[in-house]
Amino acid sequence: TDNEQKNGLSKININTASKEQLMTLPGVGSSRADEIIKYRSKNRFQSIEDIQNISGIGQKSFEKIKEKIIVD
């Protein structure tokens, strides 16, 4: 949205982001980024909540990243 662009905040699309982009999210390192990419290659993320299907990303982790991610 225009507001996000003005603030310099761009959300990460978890269906298309590169491994490097995913690793900028709090709590997402190399192996977790690989898990996200593996998951989306089989079943695209339908909602941001679906990221909780990734091993190691539970409610607490989701709370930290939910404002930073989108699905498209």
CATH number at residue 34: 1.10.150.320
Mean pLDDT of 4-8: 47
**What's the pLDDT at 5?**
44
CB 22 within 8 A of CB 28: yes
Tally of domains in the chain: 1
CB 70 within 8 A of CB 14: yes
Q: What is the mean pLDDT of the chain?
A: 91
DSSP state of 54: S
**What's the pLDDT at 57?**
96
DSSP state of 52: G
Q: Is the pLDDT of residue 69 over 70?
A: yes
**What's the pLDDT at 8?**
52
Give every CB contact of residue 35 below 8 A, 6+ residues apart in sequence: 54, 55, 56
**Which domain does 55 fall in, by range?**
2-70
